[in-house]
Amino acid sequence: MLLKDKVVIISGIGPGLGIKLAVRVAEYQAKAVVLAARTPAKLDQAEQAIRDAGYDTPVLKVPTDIADVEQCQKLADLTVEHFGRIDALINSAYSHGAWGSSSASSMDDWRQAMDVNLFGTMQMTQAVLPQMKQQRSGSIVMINTMATRVPNQLESGYAVSKGALKTAVQYLAQDLGPFGIRVNSTFMGWMWGAPVIGYFQSEAQRLGVTMESLVDQVAQQIPLRKIPEDGDCAMAALYLASDYAKVITGAQLDVNGGHFLPC
């Protein structure tokens, strides 16, 4: 299977993509899945989702704030201590920050987003590199956003921080390739799951319209005419983590049903 016998770390476990990544890793016969999030309850929920899906994959849960470099190092060290290696890191942790336009946003909000989305992600990445270099192999996948492709002024700080991460990936891919370490990005758009469902429900109530009408407005902008399921988006990220993508590094994979079509 896709991740057979691999040890996979997932940062940023939450009710949407994070949990779906965890379940898919177990489905793809990983040797172990290591779960990281700031909130321990989210780690418990992810483990329960894996068990409810019928998988007995070993799970290591490590409460981790990736903005804290020591916590990142502890996560990497505990993974090696328990399982002897690190084959893949899925950097899914993020901070959206405040909603606001580029001209009116607080730079403190932008710095907070940068601390997690760029610097925190880089700290988590650097923490796993000594083990991956020792193995002469490894795969790192960054979960990025379509907001870096199609400007949305209300997500300006978030998008700018993720845009910086996009550039960092190009440098990492070139830097780490000689060690057999691949670094790639997925650019997610709308993803059908708990967070997006909650958004549509609240917007429908605020506007006094049906949720279905709002969903249809978005779906009509997507060539596949549907909002992609978060579990299906997870599969794209895990493809890049797997040996099926063993000659792919520095790639920018759009995972949004064709909502953004690069020229």
What span, in angstroms and rounded, lies between the C-alpha atoms of 72 and 75? 5
Kindly report, residue by residue over 49-93, the tens digit of the pLDDT: 999 999 999 999 999 999 999 999 999 999 999 999 999 999 999
User: Which amino acid is located at 76 in the chain?
Assistant: A
Percent of the chain with pLDDT over 70: 100
* Mean local confidence (pLDDT), 81-110: 92
Q: What are phi and psi for residue 68, nearest 5 degrees? A: -105, 110
Please tell us whether the domain made up of 7-189+230-255 is placed in CATH 1.10.390.10.
no
Whether the Cβ atoms of residue 61 and residue 44 lie closer than 8 Å to each other: yes
| Token couple for 159 | 């998008």
Q: How confident is the model at residue 98 (pLDDT cuts 50, 70, 90)?
A: confident
Of the candidates 83, 15, 88, the one whose C-alpha atom is nearest the C-alpha of residue 49 is: 15
Kindly report, residue by residue over 212-233, the tens digit of the pLDDT: 999 999 999 999 999 999 999 9
Whether the Cβ atoms of residue 71 and residue 120 lie closer than 8 Å to each other: no
What span, in angstroms and rounded, lies between the C-alpha atoms of 203 and 152? 17
Higher pLDDT: 29 or 195? It is 29
Q: How confident is the model at residue 248 (pLDDT cuts 50, 70, 90)?
A: very high
Q: What is the pLDDT of residue 101?
A: 86
b/e map 70-82, b = 16+ CB within 10 Å: ebbbbbbebbeee
| Token couple for 17 | 């993509």
Mean pLDDT of the chain: 95
What's this model's pTM, rounded to 2 decimal places? 0.95
User: Which amino acid is located at 57 in the chain?
Assistant: T
Q: What is the pLDDT of residue 102?
A: 86
Domain spans of the chain, in order of start: 7-189+230-255, 192-227
Kindly report, residue by residue over 134-182, the tens digit of the pLDDT: 999 999 999 999 999 998 888 899 999 999 999 999 999 999 999 999 9
Q: Which residues pair with 88 in a beta bridge?
A: 8, 139
DSSP codes joined into one string, 47-79: HHHHHHTT----EEEEE--TTSHHHHHHHHHHH
